[in-house]
Amino acid sequence: MTRFFRQALRRINKLSAEQLRELLAAASSEISTLQTVLDSLPSGILICNEKHSLTIANKSACRLLSVSQGESGVLWEQITDKAISVFFKQILCGGEKILETEIEAEVFNKKSLLSVSIYPLVDGKRITGSLIYIEDITEKRSREIRLHRAENLASLTTVAAGVAHEIKNPLGSISIHLQLIQKKLGRLPNQSVKKYFNILNEEVDRLNHIVVDFLFAVRPMTLNLRKRNINSLLSEIAEFINKELAMSKIRLLLELDENIFPVLIDERYMKQALLNMIKNAKAAMPRGGLLTIATIGSENETRISICDNGVGISPENLKKIFEPYFTTRNDGTGLGLTLVYKIIREHKGEITVESKVGGGTNFEIILPAVHIGKPLLSFIGEKNEK
């Protein structure tokens, strides 16, 4: 079609008014079709000229970068996000070609991860501008992370169950024999000997707790699911742990949405997961602070937010926190959040985390809601058959 238009332009002085109208109509139709194709793409397409002015932007690009369709001018001046604006200015002015560079953006008040590629726009042998390709890879990266966590749990299950049993048996034997020796030496006044025995008993107990947690992490979980209002469970947990938090100068704030649907949970396991997360939040606020537990309900899901204003988690550690044995605490086993992740997944839920060093951490649990009442639709065919 482009060749046709070029040939028509060479003969434009010889065309009649009717032929010119037909030519313009054909050109308009082709442009409309191309714009429809561009706007239908889920990925963003931007085209800039040699002076880096925006000439074409499809709907996805405008949505991902908050650029208004049809605007002209230098690209980076039209982007409201300062970090992304600086990024495009640096790359375009430097004439660089980049492939699948990941940048963070805020789309409709939600953080997204974008993959950006910039290619030179070539017409013949001359560079006439830049072609920018943008893909929202937020969900793709989330799926990769979930798959990685699932693989970690699977490998942990395969290797560890037998090893844990082999450790647990001698630990039980050691504990029994330590108690027998203590009874034999019980009449001795030597305090240093008693001190050593106390240390040994404490270490045996600690190892036993690690093995128990380890076995829990690798064994299949049998849930006793019951319909429960998560607000009442959170209120019970808050009452239970509030004094402990107060002793650490931590103020607990509950912000519970009253209009939430019940969820199907195993109360024992869910309580364990929530307490693990609260204790992690406490450890992140050694000098005290504010711990906010909130619920937000919608028709299909219930969200539980556990937010602290503690030390935060570095970006490199944020990717590893659900992995077995990863811990930044001297007294940690590295299994706490692995168990939390497993419990939430067994409840058909999701868990996400956002954190900033020095700016606190927010864990969010998403559980499917259970609707009470009659089904909205009845299967008429089955009734007619009866």
CA-CA distance, 335 to 339, in Å (whole number)? 6
User: What fold, for 226-368?
Assistant: Heat Shock Protein 90 (3.30.565)
Q: What is the mean pLDDT of the chain?
A: 80
pLDDT in tens, 300-334: 899 999 999 999 999 888 888 887 667 777 666 66
**CATH classification of 41-136, choosing from 3.40.50.300, 3.30.450.20, 3.20.20.105, 2.60.40.10?**
3.30.450.20
Shared fold status for 41-136 and 226-368? no
pTM metric for this prediction: 0.53
Confidence (pLDDT) at 300? 87
Please determine, for residue 208, whether its predicted confidence score (pLDDT) is greater than 80.
no
In the chain, what are the domain boundaries? Answer: 41-136, 142-218, 226-368
pLDDT in tens, 72-114: 678 887 887 777 888 888 888 887 788 888 888 776 667 788 8
CA-CA distance, 278 to 237, in Å (whole number)? 10
pLDDT in tens, 368-385: 988 655 444 444 444 444
Contact 293, 304 (CB under 8 A): yes
Q: Please report, for residues 75, 110, 299, the alpha-carbon distance to residue 41 in angstroms, rounded to integers and kept in the order given.
A: 20, 21, 30
CA dihedral 23, 24, 30, 35 (to 10 degrees): 170
Confidence (pLDDT) at 5? 63
pLDDT in tens, 327-349: 777 666 667 788 898 899 889 99
CA-CA distance, 116 to 134, in Å (whole number)? 5
DSSP 8-class letter at 3:
H
CA-CA distance, 39 to 27, in Å (whole number)? 18
pLDDT in tens, 242-259: 999 999 999 999 999 998
